Chain A
Amino acid sequence: MAMPKLAPVPAAHDKLRALGILALNGMFDEMDAVGVLRQAASEILAGDLAVVSSFGADSAVLLHLVAQVDPSLPVYFLETGKHFRETLDYVETLKKHLGLINVHALHPNSEDVKRFDPNGDLWETDPDSCCHIRKTEPLEPVTEQYGGWVTGRKRFQTKERGVLPHFELTSDDRIKVNPLAYFSDADVNQYKIDHGLPEHPLFAKGYKSIGCAPCTSVVAEGEDPRAGRWRGLNKKECGIHFDFNGAIAKPMTAATKHNLWKDGAFIADPFHEWAEGDDPASVSYKHVPLAVFLANRDAVLANPHPLGLLIVPGDRIEDAQADLGRFASIAIKFPAFTDGRGYSVSRLLAERYGYANEIRAVGDVLQDQIPLMRRCGFNAFVVTHEPTRQALIENRLPEVALFYQPAGLTEIPAGTRPFLRRAH
């Protein structure tokens, strides 16, 4: 299949800039997927928009939208060479059923495959690299040709996607269009029924999110739909989606070990460690020690970059009380896990001062302390202790899940002592 050669249309970018991504996101009803796609295809990115589809379990819905708006919109399918036979059949089924006339398969570079995956088992030894050569690399030259992309991502799919908007601006000034962002699992299923869309042959067998055959497993009832992807591995995204929101610039590779555990996964940490001699007026993405902040308050408040605050044992968080909102993250240091002062600091932050941004534990953070830390308001952990990392990845923190006493903001669960069972 020949690739369409389309020149980028700079005007589209200017238009978007003028409109503003926020305004764009406010224009559509949450469920108006067709409206979102039509606006993108005909107004904002006319002639400069393409679709990437996995032809997986839920792909039919997005492709049905495409067919309604413009059946000639280019649709790219990553033919990794590792797909289920059923998926390849499904590509043909949908093309025919929906009348799509511009579907292209993207194959990995055969030199790369020969070099990095001569035995075809890279998925097993280094899944990040496998995704990289089979998905990220082949897609890159194509993405460069378009000003925007349509994806089928949905908020409900994973915790990482919980805040997905209809339109996103990527770090390289492209636009991601997510018409289905607000669709729930039930909405997707209902849509399929309402429009009589053919089902992926594996869906009925328990596959909810379908990728390459070796890295996809069946999802249990009640599990995160993407839990079946890279099961057992510390991996949630294949890399092609990592470029969005501008936060994470590089696709994840096996060589990068992330130490920041947040919202159920190890993720790249935008913050760097404060170093002696750093200038509080100009640093970016660093946790400024409380003492430095207090001595340079005006400079820090005038600093235009994202900043955090570092609290060490003995610091009085009260001293920064009025300025907490300035900080995107507060790091509480545990030089030794036996020093429990940070638990009190975190509760004060979360409960008394209403600090709602990131509270991270850094230092000697071990698995047996993390459940207590969470209850005290910590929502991020920088973890280097290897057994603790494993425990987090395997979700087996040693925790007594019943609480006798209230702590934290959200913690009045059923089963607490009767006198603590109260509405707030």
Chain B
Amino acid sequence: MYRYDEFDAAFVAGRTSQFADQVKRRLSGELSEDQFRPLRLMNGLYLQLHAYMLRIAVPYGTLSSKQMRKFAHIARTYDRGYGHFTTRQNIQFNWPKLKDIPVILEELASVEMHAIQTSGNCIRNVTADHFAGAAADEIIDPRPIAEILRQWSSLHPEFSYLPRKFKIAVTGAPNDRAAIRFHDIGLQAATNAAGDIGWEVWVGGGLGRTPMIGKLINSFVPNEHLLAYLESIMRVYNRYGRRDNKYKARIKILVHEEGLETIKGQVEAEFAEVRGGVLTLPAEEVDRITAYFAPPQFKAQPATKIDVAYQSIIDPAYGRWLDHNINSHREPGYASVTVSLKPVGGAPGDATDKQMDDIADIAERYAFDELRVTHEQNLVLPHVAIADLRAVYDALVATGLAEGNNGLITDMICCPGLDFCALANARSIPIAQEISKKFAEPKRQAEIGDLKIKISGCINACGHHHVGHIGILGVEKKGGELYQITLGGDATEHASVGKIIGPGFEADAVPGAIETLVDTYIAKRESADESFIAAYRRLGEAPFKEALYGNA
């Protein structure tokens, strides 16, 4: 893991005291809310429906047990005993008091964490594949580049007042688990003809009210020129991105309206000016940062083979967990474990202070002290010896985090919705809870197989509904809440945006509608191996539409 040196520590301390001063000026009335807003936003502080909300960055989703324990401590001391893990690999606290924020930030700084640029119209926390450094299919660990991007983008003097927020995601594997095609900039590791590893650069993706799939603007940028190339994109966006309408201010609209070729021409012209300049990234620096992410000292493990079928008979819950929550590791004898934050009937992504402490203990004991936050609002123990899986499972059972539903219908992404969020038009957590209860039966979930349901409480799409195999969007209609259903979204390398299937449903009719869609899929699939999304792509929307609304 990356470790702060004196410079990083001093930087965060400087920022913390700077913001403490700004909070003081706000409390004294010297700053108006209008003047304070962009400052607090750049420090991750939102004003929500009921209270301030503090969003803390988990850089590229990687954290240590010490850092997780700090979250537990903050939840216990300054909040209401829980935290909420987000789709951007961050954590949010929903009830801090403004006067406590400087102290919370000091606490965070003591474990090398901060809330810098987790909101506001700046470059946000860079996200990455949650199996980075562990996944068997990985070309290169994306975290060193993500860390370099974190540093380059931190308090960037030119790009702190962009037209709108700006999100960058990085993956080092061909199987995209970081949704890079739905980010303002997505980076995917690529190999050129000479065998060098560099980056495909995708630009202009995003969700929100105008979902767009990112477009390939450059098929190979070597490490050396990556910062210069990204600064070129940022400068074009800062100068020419729309500022007349906040709903049209993201780079995806600029790319869409001007056309990829125009933007590419501007970026290349800018790149020609800055290429080879001060932003040139020396190989030694990449090596220096990479050294921080050296794999842990794996021990040669005895060939352990778990008979999942047998385990499923003697302990079905454990069998399900093995079936769904284990990801193959590049090191023989090891696996990555997904810790589900989607218990049946719970609020997706929430964890209590006790659970955070417990999982920190598990990570320390069994997983080389490392944890990950996923953009699907789960946690990951990236490096667990297969021989320890049972012990890890038992420990997770003890703290109520052993749900074996990763990737299944109850593993939903869900935004906070009208229960917390000032922007929302409709509740989303209760919808997720009702669907979760409807499909609580584990056997049924397994039978349905991989199915991603994503729920947003408004068109800002924090719940990623556009890329749900089944997406649910809460809208306000005539004073009531109505839910639109979309089908066919996909956040991976096979990116697609879901299509609205028909008129919306009342809240209490949503679980039934989902059941109808699921039943239709099961009836029409070619075999149990054909996933929902594959079946939908083969069949088209017609059979699903007919099942929901009858024959037109």
Contacts and interface: CB of A to CB of B under 8 A. Distances in A.
B251 to A, nearest CB: 14
A48 B510 CA distance: 98
B239 A400 contact: no
Interface string A379-421: 0000000010000000000111111111110001001111110
A341 B234 CA distance: 11
B550 interface: no
B141 to A, nearest CB: 19
B285 A418 contact: yes
A376 B157 contact: yes
A398 B18 contact: yes
B11 A400 contact: yes
A424 B157 CA distance: 20
B104 to A, nearest CB: 18
A340 B161 contact: yes
Interface stretch (B81-89, B275-283, B405-413, B522-530): B275-283
A405 B151 contact: yes
Contact of B22 (A398, A406, A412): A398
A368 B157 CA distance: 11
Contacts of A419: 281-282, 284-285, 288
A25 to B, nearest CB: 37
Given A313-B243, A366-B35, A400 B160 contact: no
A374 to B, nearest CB: 8
B95 to A, nearest CB: 27
Task: Categorize the interface residue count of chain B.
Answer: 35 or more
A337 interface: yes
Contacts, number: 100
B15 interface: yes
Interface string B18-54: 1001100100001100010011000000000000000
B298 interface: no
Nearest to B278: A406
B273 interface: yes
A229 to B, nearest CB: 28
B154 interface: yes
Given A404-B155, A419-B281, A344 B35 contact: no
Given A339-B243, A399-B18, A372 B235 contact: no
Contacts of B158: 340, 343-344, 347, 372, 376, 407
A304 to B, nearest CB: 34
A402 B162 CA distance: 21
Chain A CB within 10 Å — which of B7, B18, B239 has the most?
B239
A84 B465 CA distance: 77
Contacts of B162: 340
A422 interface: yes
A424 B278 CA distance: 9
B174 interface: no
Contact of A340 (B18, B31, B159): B159
Contacts of B157: 343, 371-373, 375-376, 403, 405, 407-408
A405 B152 contact: yes
B121 interface: yes
A343 B238 contact: yes
B15 A387 contact: no
B10 interface: yes
A400 B285 CA distance: 23
A238 B426 CA distance: 65
A412 B279 CA distance: 12
Top 6 nearest A-B pairs by Cβ distance? A340-B161, A419-B285, A375-B157, A400-B14, A372-B157, A404-B151
Given A338-B161, A417-B151, 12 more contacts: A338-B38, A340-B162, A343-B161, A344-B239, A368-B39, A387-B30, A404-B152, A406-B278, A412-B278, A418-B285, A419-B285, A424-B278
Interface of A: 313, 337-341, 343-345, 347, 352, 366, 368-369, 371-373, 375-376, 387, 398-408, 412, 415-420, 422, 424
Interface of B: 7, 10-11, 14-15, 18, 21-22, 25, 30-31, 35, 38-39, 121, 151-163, 235, 238-239, 243, 273, 278-279, 281-282, 284-285, 288
